[in-house]
Amino acid sequence: MSLKKSSLHFRLAHFKKFSRPPSAFHPAMTLIHSDSPQSAFGHLLEELRRMQREPLAQCWLVVPSHNWGDSILQSLAQSQGVASGVCSSNLRALLESIAKTDPRRCLSTDSLTLLVLEQIRHTSHPADSLVFSALGADDEARPLRELAIAQALAEALDAAWLHPKSEHAFLSRPEIQHLLENEVLQAAASDHLGRISAESFAAACQTWLKTEQAKGGPVRLAVLLDRSVPALLLARLGQLLEIAGGSLVVSASVNDFWADDKIKSRRRSPSGDSLQTPAPHLLYALGANAQDLHRGLIEHFEAEGAGFLYPTDSQLENPPSLLSALQQDTRSLHLRQELFVRHAEDPSLAVYNCRSMRRELELIADQFRGELSRDPSLKPEDCRVLLVDPAEYAPLLKAIFLEAGVPVHFPEMPPQQSLEIIAALDSLIEALRGRFDLAEGLRLLQHPPITRRFELEAALTEGHLAKWLRDAGVRWGRNREHRAQEQQHPNSPDTWSWAFGLQRLALGAVLPAHSNNTRVTLAGGTHHVPLLRAAGLETATLANLADFLERFNHHAAFWKRGAMHTLEMWCDAIAALCEAFFDQESQEQLLGLNAKVLAPLRRSNLPARKNNPSNAFLKSEISAEVFLRLFHAKLDAFSEQLMKADRMSGVIVSDLRKDAALPAQILAIAGLGGDKFPRADSRPDWHPLKTATGTGIPSKRGEDRHFLLQAALCPQRRLILTYVGGSLHDDKGLPPSTPLSDLLEAVAKTAGVQAAADIQINVPLHPFSTASFLAGLPPFARGQQPNHLADARMLAASHQNNSQRFHQGPLPPEDRLSVDIAELKRALIEPHKIYLARLGLGWFEQPSAFPSGELLNLNPLQKWSLRDSILTHRLHAANSAPSQTDPEAVRELLTLRGILPAAPRDRKSWEHESEKTPAVLHCPIDPHPAIQLVINGVQLTGQIDTNWRLSQGVATLYLAGKSGNKYELRALVDALVLSLAAPALGLFQIQFSKAKPEDKPLPPKDITHLVVSAQAQLACILNIHRLAGCLPLPFFLGASAKLKDTNPQDAANDLATALEAWKTKDSFGEDPMPSEYEALSVQIAFSGIENPFTEPFELPESLAPHWLPEHPGAKLSITLAQTIFGLIPKAPKTDA
């Protein structure tokens, strides 16, 4: 796709005042217009890649929802191997966080609600006030009414301040003026985003920008707008982009501007001129919000002389399907002269009229299963389901899709069942070792695996169990002995414990009903037991509770504080807890817990003590605290694996109102019935936006229509729409929602009435269980909805998933058509991160260099970062006059950018590091050549390091650090690529910083001897890269470098030691971590793989070892080290 820049005024006849030419565009801001979700997604990825190529650039991704951000960052990680350094936020949250850098704090809507509620409760209000008329008398419901009015008032104040044109009538009401007279509320109101002036916000932007730049480099913004937003937010966004710079990507419905076209009206404009372009059928039905977005962009960006980049894709003359025709007509503002001819077998657009929610989801699951079976190239992640009402549909959907064998995941929800077991086990262990008070016990019983095991659902749901236990006098402690132990009092009475309460409940259950008010003296005559309200507990529930307490007491003795057991015994105790307290369904889920947590602990990969054999730790006794620390470390890693795996595979399910515009191959929308879609704009008469009109005025009804329009433009293959079109009670038909009816009308005008009728499919089947309407059921359990929930539980319980959730061995080799040069460098320095990138995972990079406070006492990383900033500015100004690159000029520039503090006391520290920074020669330089290389069928992409300077046949790499293997290996890849891309280069060298400030500049280090057989060396590095995508390769620069200077056996010992440290070092400790360990990244890389070195794998032929030790990890590490350092031959000796 090519792009062309255009000024909006060339397209708009009715906006004559916007007449700046394209040359007036702000140079720091790029505006890109995308007419499809796929295009917007691609533009955002491209902009992020471009921004990340800037040295030390910080990228901010501003998107409508979390799922947008997660999808883009995951794609960025898969394509570039890294998504770190990219912050994600939505527009208003970002603007408010920036405003908070001002001395005043920006006021959020939630804070405003609490302030208004406080004023309502402590202020008298007129009885005839329209706003406060619903308060009513002082009764039990008044606090709830006060909160509802406070929320409505806070939303109204927020809307009034965000839309200044509509605030006057609302704020002038006597009751609102009376409310705002409070000094606290006045002070808070002045801090609202809508009350902060443009000048104050500009100052806040400057402050925020300096603060962020001080953390590590220039700030770049990538902003996506896909719906109408308040005009004030657009104005503030314009201010921010002018100061910070970045890209604004607009995901709109068409590839041109049509803000002067009439929606729902084909009349002429007020001036009498005919309309510029008539709106296509789909826009005519659903495009009001998209038109409002265009108007807002024109008002707030075109007036500043900004321009847009337009895609110039040529439209298909003959769309292959009805869905493509609708999408193409919408994007091109095209009205067909002839009807589109829909083929009978065209499945691209279908509307299903179902009789229940369950039938809707069964139909969608069946459609997805058919598509996945017919097309092996289609992945579940390419399919999406959008729900109008996730709270109602999500539980049923998960059960139905599991039953159908279609993998599914919810990006905003963890894998509930597995995490329930982990949470229950964690709470159970904590309760066994604590005081076991009533609140803790009730929370423990409410964990689903325990609730199901002891059949306490009904007693807990109705609240009877908690009430009975309270009335029975349960306070804390399992029994008399436990209370005496905790109180350290040997004569502690047997009262208020769980055993005491169980006695009362047992007596109340067995005595006759007429004895309910009696008092019984317990054995020993110590106290009396009142039976009032303790009677009536069902015998079965009481027996289950007694069973729970008996098991709890039995296991508590093992887990008491100070107990010492072997590691094997602790692991057996965990297994015993799971067997005793969890239901059968959870027992099946515990197989993964046993394999991933308990089994590694039993084997214990901890290093052996110096004076003990390797298994001494298994035989020695340890305390519960030590064991739980080990157990929780494994458990936390297992939980993270579950959440990562759940997000990485399956049909994506999310909310229509959050993710309507996310790209998809096949998209299904469920719940388009008229009862919940679209939402109604129910505002009270006093609301400031009740009758407001203009750009950016929010409308729930208009937003829902816009979301349906976005969803219609999103899928590339199929769009499946479902709704409940019949009553479950009397079987009468129900019409579809108004937006869905309008969409069908647009189809009729595009392809004919018969085509619109053909895509509507009635699904008469509907499950109807008479068991849900039995006379004996309580009223709340009658009806179809409880039957649906029971079906969902039944389906989820009967499903057994025996598929492997994690990789158990090396990944299959990946045939890549192109590899980025940065990936080749990473394969030589950090090869295990190639494996991480293939799994779609990121990793933690080095922290930011130094704060803007002061430069005194810099650590080595901060010194390197400071020198790198200075060197970057010297390189950028290498062809400028010397006066512009002197230290004072660079220092002033860095200070203005917020990288350096302005304090005089820091001058000496800055000069100290500036002296070490390599000087840059002032001579003409050649541009970097375009990289167009193909090695063994693999194309090399990307760019070489920007710090290379090419001049008169000499290539010099300027680096702020000292000489080392890491720099030579990275320079090696660049030098090999340069030698093939620019054959005229004859000398390659690295210019490092000086060792001391008083020393003379170091001479460049010649690395020309590395550049031999460039084709063969790059082919070898590509083989290493290919292997790194299959295994987390163990490679350590420090230990591996010794292969060049020591005998092989010593090198093997060093590498084996580094391997153990690499796998087991605590990365969360306070001590600084050697870079070769990379412990946290290794923990991520090894997730789901117990021991990759025990698996059989084949080394490429170019990695043929001469000798190898027995340890498989050391074998792979030594082989890799020999190969990598074999790429760096020793420099030839010269007279110099």
User: Long-range CB contacts (< 8 A, 24+ apart) of 797-804?
Assistant: 797/585, 798/403, 799/399, 799/402, 799/403, 800/588, 801/402
606 neighbors 567 (Cβ within 8 angstroms): no
Higher pLDDT, 293 or 780: 293
What's the pLDDT score for residue 1112? 55
398 neighbors 654 (Cβ within 8 angstroms): no
What's the pLDDT score for residue 86? 72
Relative to beta strand 219-225, strand 621-623 is unpaired
Quote the CA–CA distance of 663 and 857 in Å, as a whole number: 50
Lowest mean pLDDT among 350-364, 479-493, 512-526, 889-903: 512-526
1128 neighbors 1017 (Cβ within 8 angstroms): no
Q: For tokens 């680096």, what's the residue?
A: 959
Domain extents for the chain? 3-101+200-279+294-317, 107-130+159-192, 349-407+649-798, 416-514+527-595, 823-844+1013-1126, 860-1010
Report the share of the chain in percent with pLDDT over 70: 61
Quote the CA–CA distance of 1046 and 1032 in Å, as a whole number: 26
Looking at 3.40.50.10930, 3.40.50.720, 3.40.920.10, 2.40.33.20, the CATH number of the domain 3-101+200-279+294-317 comes to 3.40.50.10930
Quote the CA–CA distance of 292 and 309 in Å, as a whole number: 20
Domain 349-407+649-798 in CATH 3.30.70.2860: no
Residue 275 has pLDDT above 60, yes or no: no
Give the domain 416-514+527-595 fold: PCRA; domain 4 (1.10.486)
Report the share of the chain in percent with pLDDT over 90: 4
Higher pLDDT, 130 or 263: 130
Reported confidence tier of residue 883, pLDDT bands at 50, 70, 90: very low
> What are the tens digits of pLDDT across the range 940-973?
888 888 888 888 888 888 888 777 778 888 888 9
Residue 1086 has pLDDT above 60, yes or no: no
* Strands laid side by side in the 651-655 sheet: 408-409, 651-655, 383-387, 664-670, 715-724, 349-354, 760-762
SS3 string, 869-933, reads: HHHHHHHHCCCCCHHHCCHHHHHHHHHHCCCCCCCHHHHHHHHHHHHHCCCCCCCCCECCCCCCE
What is the average per-residue pLDDT within 607-621? 46
Residue 1011 has pLDDT above 70, yes or no: yes
Reported confidence tier of residue 838, pLDDT bands at 50, 70, 90: low
Element (H, E) at 168: helix 168-171
Which distant-in-sequence residues (6+ apart) come within 8 Å of 521 by Cβ?
527, 528, 529
Greatest mean pLDDT among 759-773, 991-1005, 1063-1077 lies in 991-1005
> What are the tens digits of pLDDT across the range 294-332?
777 777 776 444 445 444 444 556 788 999 988 888 877
- Length of the chain as a residue count: 1136
Residue 105 has pLDDT above 60, yes or no: no
pTM: 0.51
Is-same-fold flag (3-101+200-279+294-317; 349-407+649-798)?
A: yes
Residue 496 has pLDDT above 60, yes or no: yes
Quote the CA–CA distance of 788 and 773 in Å, as a whole number: 13
Quote the CA–CA distance of 933 and 939 in Å, as a whole number: 6
Residue 839 has pLDDT above 80, yes or no: no
Reported confidence tier of residue 721, pLDDT bands at 50, 70, 90: very high
C-alpha 261 chain-centroid distance: 38
